[in-house]
Structure formats: C-alpha cells, structure tokens
Amino acid sequence: MIRVSHLSVFHGAVQALHDVSFEVEAGTVTAVVGANGAGKTTLLRTTSGLVRPRSGSIEFDGQSLVGRRPEDIARLGIAHVPEGRGVIEEFTVQENLRLGALHGKGRFAEGLEDQFALFPALKERRRQHAGTLSGGERQMLAMARALIGYPTVLLLDEPSVGLAPQVTASVLSTVRRLCEERHLTVVLVEQDAMSALRVADRAVVLHVGRVAADDRADVVLADEGLRRYYLGMVS
C-alpha cells in the first residue's frame, strides 16, 4: 500500500534520512522505532507532505506522494496525527472534530457518533475548549479528529508522549483494534518501542537516518541485538 524507495531527506545541510526503503502492507500496523534523532518524525512528515525529500519516492497505492501539497495528500485519505498532537486549543472539541470531518469521507453526524462511541470521554467534553483537556484527552481528540474522516492510512507520531503507561497502553490497543476492525493501515512512530512492537505486525528500526532492520514485529522484538538501536543505549 505504501512503498518508500530510496528516500533521502535533508534539514538544511544535515541529512536526516539516508536511502530509506521499506513497504507497508494494507491493513497492518507498522511500528517505526529508533532512538531520538533517528529520523522517525522526519519520515512521517515527508510522507504527509510537510517536508520535501531531496531524492527518492513514496508511493501510495501506486500514486506518487512526493511533490504534493500536504492538504492534497490528506484528501487522498492519509491522516497524520503530528508530534504534539496539533489539537487546536482555541476550538472546542466538537469544532476540532468538525474540522477533521470536512475533507474526509462520510457524514459528520455519523462520524461524530462513531468517534464518541470509541472515545466516550470526548462526548462529555464536546463543548469544552480543547485547551482545557488533559494530555490523554488531547491524544484521544487528535486521533478522533484524524479518524472521523474515515481515512485509509493513519500516521501516528509518538502518541505516548506525556501520557501515563496505562493510557498509552489503552491508546495503542485502540489503534490495534481499529486496524483489525476497519482494515486501517497504521504507521506508528514511537519512542516507547516495546509497547509499539507489541501491537505491531511489522517493525522498521531506524538508526541515524538509515534502516537498521525491517522485519516482522515479533522477530524484531525478540532480537536482542536490535534492542540497542531503540532502547537509547547506543551512541
């Protein structure tokens, strides 16, 4: 479904990604793990169009994504929940969701019910300004906002940041469930690699901008040699 080929991305003079290639199958969860600065977020941002690569390609269902504007990529059905969630604080919960539904599929009313069923806490707070929500609630809002348009692909950047372990576990298991129930394709970038690997089908391990491993998640999890790349114990 998503094919990344020989992707090289620069931030100014610094190269963030070197010749990165891997594939994501439809309806699977692919975890992208690695130490800080490995290039995980850059990878997602390049996929959603916020960053232009120097060379290489990203194909979605045969269509090339490179060179397209982020808003066009979003309208193709690729939803990116950015690092920090990007919840619009000045909007209410409902307004955030409305915005998410504008350019997606399906009708707002139905999508809203759907998301409230998934995340009941949001329903209670629908008229509250998003700025008043807790970290966990914001994560739910950001995800609901991404999902309300019934996307084909979900790009999740570090959902566990600032969340207690139980909340993280709940978020990740929800992601797993969505993938299985709705055939959603998920690319999950996570600092908390162990949790991510447990819910994923495949794993891509990034190290200083290069692919160190690309295999089934359970294989990567069991491989002690790879652990040093994502448990932050390497130079």
Residues in touch with other proteins (CB under 8 A): 48-50, 69-71, 74-75, 79-80, 82, 86, 88-91, 95, 98-100, 102-104, 145, 149
φ/ψ (deg, to 5) at 69? -80, 150
Nearer to other proteins, 17 or 130 (CB): 130
Shortest distance, position 29 Cβ to other proteins, whole Å: 20
Nearer to other proteins, 98 or 198 (CB): 98
Shortest distance, position 124 Cβ to other proteins, whole Å: 22
Nearer to other proteins, 97 or 203 (CB): 97
Beta-bridge partners for 80: 155
Nearer to other proteins, 10 or 91 (CB): 91
Shortest distance, position 153 Cβ to other proteins, whole Å: 12
Shortest distance, position 142 Cβ to other proteins, whole Å: 9
Which residue is listed with tokens 């348009």?
149
Nearer to other proteins, 103 or 216 (CB): 103
Shortest distance, position 102 Cβ to other proteins, whole Å: 6
